Structures are given as structure tokens and as C-alpha cells.
Structure 1
Amino acid sequence: MYKEHFGFKEDPFSIAPDPQFLYMSEIHREALAHLLYGMKADSGFVLLTGEVGTGKTTVCRCLLNQIPDNSEVAFILNPKLSVLELLATICDELGIAYPAGTASIKVFVDCLNLFLLDAHSHNKRTILIIDEAQNLSVDVLEQIRLLTNLETDKRKLLQVILLGQPELNQLLERAELRQLSQRVTARYHLEPLLLRNISAYLGYRLAKAGVERPLFTPAAIKKLYRLSGGVPRLINLISDRALLGAYSRGEHQVRSTVLTQAAREIFGAERKHRRTGKWFFSAVPLLLVIAAVVVALVLFLPTPQRQETVALEPLAPVQADVIEEKEAGEHRSPPVVDSAPEQLAAVLAVTAPPQTTAEQSRNQAMQALLALWGYTDSLDPVATTTVADLYGLGLLEEEGGLELLRTFNHPALLSLIDAYGDGQFYVLLTALDDANATLIVGTDLVRVPIATLLRQWDGHFSILWQLPPGYEQVLRYGDQGIIVFWLEQQLAALANREPRDMLNLRFDHQLMNEVRRFQRRHGLTADGLVGPRTLMTMNAQMATDQPRLAFEREQ
């Protein structure tokens, strides 16, 4: 409908898994590389997981375009099948003939085995791809494993690629599927796009559709990230509706207000439905209590003003004091606004520093964060990609809740929405207890109730973390080097056991199983992969002098 208005040759934001519209972010490139590696390694199983809409099927379609011509592929989209139905579907996909009305598993398996042997004799490989694999039953998965038992001295005659939601990892952890899990030689979890990817993602799809100019304002891009969470399918849905909205207004660029309306049209009915229903009647007593508290605040508390703060000295001296305190081994709470009842109105909201842009507030917060790590020299905080090269630090940009921040236990850059409607700004979270959060806002140190923070925080945060020696990318089964030796030392210390003293140690089954146990114990995805989340959580358990999120309480 809006093609001619914007000059598109194709729909830029179709949700169909078209490989030519696949924007290969670093996340998607690594996912595709894992699939290709698994295929070339002649392994039994390759696993790709990710939340709904992150692009698993699209990555797989891209994989299909790179599969060698001498390959036979069975692609199953609906895995809610019985063992007999699945075997019949595989035979149909591969063009294998079988007697009409067959109701014997053995007949299907024999037909498949003959096909696999014949394909191998003609130097062909056979690949089975199953989408939505989290819906497979245990019996079906076990039958698939048995199909991969047919092998030569050098390779499996059937390769299996499983695509699924995160529940697939949990399914494969079941005891009865441990043999299958041990045959997974390549696995990858596809995360949503980060904020820095959104502009490139939009530009790529717009260019593929025939438009080179930017159609989304910078504010709209940030809004799109907050509304979609970085999930490509949601980005497509919202963007398509936003373009339609801009067209209906006669505008040639999507603004944040149009984007908000588009998201409301897509999600509004569903959210409204969720907010109404039987829960309302059970919540009436709670609503009455809340109403009484609000009335009391209006009647007895002074009119809310911008929050009172304790002005800090210039950041460098303040951070030097923090460092001296750490070296002395003492822990004391920083000076903060008193949250006594008479001053409660002063901490009901967090507001941006006056006359400060979002970029300036981010620069201030990042400079304060670097100072906490002991780096007070002049550095452009915007150039965060250089942080690792300069200081051996990693920058993790993630989305989650306060419990995740407590798990990582490092100061965090938070993106807030100003309580007075002045837009987005950044603060540094330095301490967190059960009731309050301590923030550096510009050059002021303030403490606010956690409920206040949650009302204004969109869930996105940035954390600096210490990179282990030799760390370059996510560690997985089969890796070796100094980083694997380091990992062995850390896990041994956490498990209170003697480390294996082998500098040429490989990331073996023992390490992988210990990593999984650690991940399960700390609420992480137990995939056996060692990435930033696992490393930071592991680091938080060790006694180090790195900046922590909260002061330890005296015993």
C-alpha cells in the first residue's frame, strides 16, 4: 500500500524467512558459522536455539543456500508427530518409497538405512533439519538418535540440525536424552539484536527493498528497540505498521510518535485483554490500599519537586576516595539523600541533569564507570568499542532485571526515561540493596526506592567486565588454549577441587558438564557455552578487588 509513496520495489519488512533480507549481524554470522561447521565436521547433531522471532528459520534458509549440491535434505517444519509419522515424513521429504499403509517402524528404518547407504556410496551427504524442535517428544528424539547410529569409520551417514526455542536445551538435559545431548558437537543460542544493530538492520532491509535513504529518525530507532526488545520479527511488524502510519499522514519519515502508535495498534488489543479479566476482582483489596496511600500522599506530603541530591566533588577525586577506601579494606555507605518520611516526596522520581543531552549524560556515566575501574585518564566514553583494547575490559550490553544485575555484581550504566517527560538519559547504578538503589546522576549521588527505578528503567544496561586471559569469543566443547586452562582453574576453585595441571587441556566433557552445573545453579541457560554472562557470573563468585555493585554488609 505504501510502496509507491516511499519508492519500494518490495516489502521491506515482510516476516517471511527470505534469505536475501537476512541482515547478518555478528550474532547471525556466528550462528550460521556454527551450522556450517557442524555440517562440515560430519557430526551427528547441530543445535540452534533462540527466542521466538530472533531469526532461527531465516538463518537456516540461508544455510540451505550454501549446502553443497551433492546433498539430500529433509526439512521438517511441523515436528508434532509420532515416531511413525516422523519416519514417514522423512521418507517423503527424501523421496524414499515405502509400502503403502506401512505401520511398522522397522520397515521405515530399513528403507531409510538403505537410502543412506546408497547416498554414501554415491558420495552424497544426507541432512535432516527439524524446525520448532522443542515440540519433539522424548520418544521421537530417541528414534532420531538411533537413526544416526548408521556410520562409517569416518563419518555419520545422517546429519541432524535441530532448530528450537530455549526450551529445547532444557529438554535435552533430561536424563533419558543424555546420549543424544553428548552427540551435539555444535550449538549456538541466537540472541536478539542490540541497540547498535537496529539502525544497520533497518538500513539493510530498506536498501534491499530499493530505498537507500534513512526513513526512521534517531529517536524512532531508539523507541523501536525499546518496543521490540531487538527481536527481528517484532521489529518487522512494528516497522511495517509505522511506515503505513507515516504514509497515511503524508509523511516521508517515521517519527517516534508514529512508531508508538504503530506498536499500540499491533499490541494494544492483546495488552488490554491481559489487563482485564478475573484477576481484577481478586486484586480489589490491593487496589483499595494503593488508592488510600495515593490519597494520603496527596493530602499530607509537599508538592513533588525535582529530587534533592547530594552534590559530589568532581568525579575523579570522588572515585579516588573510593579506590583508597577499597585499598584500606573498609566498606562504608556513600552519603545519600535521607529517605525519611518528610523527604519522601523528594525521591519519588529520577530526573535528568538540567540542560544535559542524552549523549552527554551517557558520557558522564561512562566516565564515572571507568573511574570506578581505576581509569581516570582522558577517554572519549562514546568510543566504547576501544575499551577492551585499551584496558583489557569487555563491554556487555544486555537486557534484564535487577536480579541479573545482582548476579553480575558490577556497577551498571542504565537507560532511564525522565520522570518529567524530558526524554532519555543515563545514570550509573553503584549500589543496590533490598529497598533502594544508589545512582550517580551527572555529578550527583542519589538514592531512590527500587520501585521508582523500575518505573523509569527500560531494562537495558551496560557493564564493564574483566576479560580472562586469551578470551576472544564464546568458549565451547573442543576449544583449547590458555583460556581453557584458566577456566579449569576457576571451576576447580569454585568446586573446591584440585585443578588438572595440563596447559594443553581441551574443553572436554568434564569441563562442559561442570559449566552446565554452574549455569543451572545460577539461573543461566545451561548450554555448556562459556560467554560473557557465564564468565561474569563466575567472576562474581570469586574474591577479587574489581568494582562491585553493592558494599558488603558487616557480619
Structure 2
Amino acid sequence: MYLNYFGLNDNPFSIAPNPDYLYMSPRHKEALAHLTFGLRESGGFVMLTGEVGTGKTTVSRKLLQQLPENTQVAMILNPTLSALELLATVCDELGLSYQSEKGSLKSFTDLILSKLAANHQAGINTVLMVDEAQHLLPEVLEQLRLLTNLETNREKLLKVVLIGQPELQQLLKRNELRQLAQRITARYHLLPLTSPEVRAYIGHRLSVAGGDISIFSQSTLKAVHQITGGIPRVINLLCDRALTLAFTKQQAVVKKAVFFAAAEQILGDDVVSQRLQGRRRWYLGIAFVVAIVCGFGLGSLYV
């Protein structure tokens, strides 16, 4: 709706995990480096966690782009499966045929292990990527660990990437999963963007779409971090709505009042008010501490 009005050739704030729009903040670069390093190690698991909307899935898509060509990837996007269903899904992803009515844990496991051995003989790496892994049942995670038992003297024949919310960290602290936790060779927790990174993030996405950051006023850019907490998905939702509102008002620049209106439409009046009050309390707290320090400093002059 607003693309032509703002001179954009694409939607800069789509919530689809498009790697072309991935803003590589220092945290995102470190997350990608950890995953890449982990997949090169001999262990079976690497793990990426983060709050909802911090960009985990987008980082994983970037990782897929950087994998060597001799890599076969199996993707599990819906991990709310039983152990048997998980193995069947892995078989599907690896292109293995089977008779579903005769499927069993042993038959599926044998098929997968044979495929892993065949891939290794052909010089092909095999990677299993599980999104939303915090939903995996403990017995399913244990089944994944058993799949990584096939190994040479130097490396595991299956590498598993677990991507999930912080609850995944708690899940892996369970006593029955301690063997799996010990096989994680790299792990990283993705934090929200800082205020300068939010500005750079918005500028990057607008630049990829053929625009520039001047579409948003300086005061609006500060407000974006204040309201969104630096969560990229929330930034996308609110900035997209703000551009739509600015277009309907025929305003060439997204002003703070328009952004607040967009935030209220998406998040609700109560959430926006709460976050604004939280920031005001933070400023008052800082002012109070500064006043105390200054008071002690002035008082010491008269001692």
C-alpha cells in the first residue's frame, strides 16, 4: 500500500524470515559464528536460544545459506511429535521410503543410520535442524541423541541444530537429558537489540528495500526501542503499521505520534502506557541517584 509513496521496491518490515533482510548485529554475528563453529566440531549438537521474535529463525536461514554444497539438511518445523513420529519425519526429510503401517522405532532408526553411513561414504554431511525445540518431549530428545551415536573416529555422522526459546535451556537441565547436554559443542543465547542497533536495524531494512532511514524522524527512532524492547519481530510489526498510518495521513516522515498510534493498535493502549511509564521511572531513578551523589559531593566540600 505504502511502497510507491515512500519510494520502496519491497516491504522492508515483513515478518517472514528472509535472510536478505538479516541485520547482522554483533550478537547475530556471534550467534552465526557459534553455530558454524559447532557444526564443524566433532560433537553432535549445537543450540541457539532466544526470546520470541529475536531473530533465531532468520539466523538459522542464514546458516543454511552458508553450509557447504555437500550437505543434506533435514528440517523439523513442528517438533510436537512422539519419538516414532519424529523418526518418520526425519525419514521423510532424508527422502527415505518406508511402509508406515510397519514402522517402528527400530525400523526407522535402522533406515536413518544406513542413510547417514551412505552419506558419509559419498562425502555428504548430514544436518538435522529442529525449530521450536523447546516443545520436544524428553524421550524425543533422547531419541535424537541416540541417532548421533553413529560416528567415525573423528566425528559424528549426524549434526543436530536445536533452535528454541529460553525454556529449552531449562529442559536440557533435566537429569535424564544430561548425556545430551554434554554433547552440545556450541550454544548461544540471542538477546534483543540495543537502542543504537535498533536504529541500524531499521536503516538496514529500509536500505535493502530501496529507501533510507530519513523516513523515520529521530524522535521516532528513539521511541521504537522504548516501545519494542529491541525485539526485531515487534519492530517489524510496528514500523509496518506506522508506515501505513503515515501513508493514510499523507505524511512524508513517520513522526513519533504516528508511531505511538501504530503501537497502540498492535500492542494495545495498556501495554504502550506501561512501557512509557517504565521508562519514566527509570529516568527518575537515575535522576535520584545523581542527586544523591551530587549531594554527597557538595556536602564533602564543607567537611
Q: What TM-score does the superposition give when structure 1 sets the normalisation length?
A: 0.51
Counterpart among 280, 283, 295 of residue 417 in structure 1: 280
Rounded Cα–Cα distance in structure 2 between residues aligned with 1:22 and 1:416: 28
Kindly state the Cα deviation for residue 252 of structure 1 after the two structures are TM-superposed: 1.1
8 Å contact from structure 2 (residues 202, 213) kept in 1: no
Rounded Cα–Cα distance in structure 2 between residues aligned with 1:212 and 1:24: 18
Rounded Cα–Cα distance in structure 1 between residues aligned with 2:98 and 2:71: 21
> What do the CA deviations read for 1:170-219 (whole angstroms, capped 9, x no partner)?
00000000000000010000000001101110000000011135211121
Q: Determine the structure 1 residue equivalent to 2:47.
A: 47
3-state SS, counterpart of residue 187 of structure 1:
strand
Q: How does 1:524-539 map to 2 (within 5 A)?
A: none
Rounded Cα–Cα distance in structure 1 between residues aligned with 2:78 and 2:267: 27
Give 5+ residue unaligned stretches, structure 2: 297-303
Q: Which amino acid aligns with 2:261?
A: Q
Rounded Cα–Cα distance in structure 2 between residues aligned with 1:231 and 1:427: 24
Q: Determine the structure 1 residue equivalent to 2:125.
A: 125
> What percentage of residue pairs aligned between the two structures are identical?
49
Q: Determine the structure 1 residue equivalent to 2:191.
A: 191
Select the structure with the greater relative contact order (CA < 8 A; seq sep ≥ 6): 2
> What do the CA deviations read for 1:284-328 (whole angstroms, capped 9, x no partner)?
xxxxxxxxxxxxxxxxxxxxxxxxxxxxxxxxxxxxxxxxxxxxx
Kindly state the Cα deviation for residue 425 of structure 1 after the two structures are TM-superposed: 5.8
Check 1:252–1:426 CA distance in 2 against 1; reply closer, same or farther (3 A cut).
Answer: farther
Q: Determine the structure 2 residue equivalent to 1:228.
A: 228
Q: Determine the structure 2 residue equivalent to 1:217.
A: 217
Q: Which amino acid aligns with 1:58?
A: T
Rounded Cα–Cα distance in structure 2 between residues aligned with 1:443 and 1:37: 47
Aligned residues between the structures:
293
8 Å contact from structure 1 (residues 416, 427) kept in 2: no
Q: How does 1:39-438 map to 2 (within 5 A)?
A: 39-268=39-268, 417=280, 428=286, 438=288
Q: Determine the structure 1 residue equivalent to 2:33.
A: 33
Kindly state the Cα deviation for residue 443 of structure 1 after the two structures are TM-superposed: 8.1
Matched, 1:15 2:15: yes
Kindly state the Cα deviation for residue 98 of structure 1 after the two structures are TM-superposed: 1.6
Q: Which amino acid aligns with 1:440?
A: V
Q: Determine the structure 1 residue equivalent to 2:299.
A: none
Kindly state the Cα deviation for residue 52 of structure 1 after the two structures are TM-superposed: 0.2
Structure with bigger gyration radius: 1
8 Å contact from structure 1 (residues 426, 441) kept in 2: no
> What do the CA deviations read for 1:44-70 (whole angstroms, capped 9, x no partner)?
100000000000000000000001110
Q: Determine the structure 2 residue equivalent to 1:280.
A: none
Q: Which amino acid aligns with 1:241?
A: R
8 Å contact from structure 1 (residues 13, 237) kept in 2: yes
Kindly state the Cα deviation for residue 445 of structure 1 after the two structures are TM-superposed: 4.5
Rounded Cα–Cα distance in structure 2 between residues aligned with 1:256 and 1:31: 32
Check 1:207–1:445 CA distance in 2 against 1; reply closer, same or farther (3 A cut).
Answer: same
Kindly state the Cα deviation for residue 102 of structure 1 after the two structures are TM-superposed: 2.8
Tell me which moved more, 61-70 or 204-213.
204-213
Kindly state the Cα deviation for residue 417 of structure 1 after the two structures are TM-superposed: 3.0
Higher helix share: 2
CA RMSD of aligned residues (A): 2.3
Rounded Cα–Cα distance in structure 1 between residues aligned with 2:100 and 2:285: 68
Check 1:114–1:191 CA distance in 2 against 1; reply closer, same or farther (3 A cut).
Answer: same
Check 1:140–1:198 CA distance in 2 against 1; reply closer, same or farther (3 A cut).
Answer: same
